Amino acid sequence: MTRPLQKRAAFSIEAGAEFWAKGCVACDCETALAEHVDLLEKHFGRAANFKENRLLGENVAKMEQGLFVYVPDNVALAEPLTVTYLQDSQKQEDFALHVLLVAGKNAAFSYFEKVASRGDKEATANLVVEICALAGSRVKYAAIDRLGKKRPPT
């Protein structure tokens, strides 16, 4: 992943003080490219091989925004990380999001994702969550999507 993304990520992150105090990372992919490129390059596309899967490849090709989360080795978090994404359907444009969650060796955390849309224009949503759980780690993942009622024509 080397190209700049098309727009700034539209999400909010809710994490307890413990998350930041233990050296965890949660940032948009632009920031990850600048500040955590070694981790991003090591794990991006590892759990979801976009070169072998057409849908995943389309997600990466059209990716407009993304999130990178890293929990270091031996860090267990009591509080979940909650992220809310917003698809702007006030104008007709696709929503292509890629999330990369990396749990270091023996790390443990919960990730809760909420996706919502505002507006009533027809648009597609293509969301991929890639989870790289290293040896002995545990990741609990849950998501709720509440997207608009309009559907593109078939």
Distance of alpha carbon 154 from alpha carbon 152, whole angstroms: 6
User: In the prediction, which pLDDT does 86 show?
Assistant: 79
Question: What type of residue is 53?
Answer: N
* Contact call for residues 52 and 13 (beta carbons, < 8 A): no
What pTM did the predictor assign? 0.79
| Sites in the chain below the pLDDT cut of 50 | 1-8, 152-154
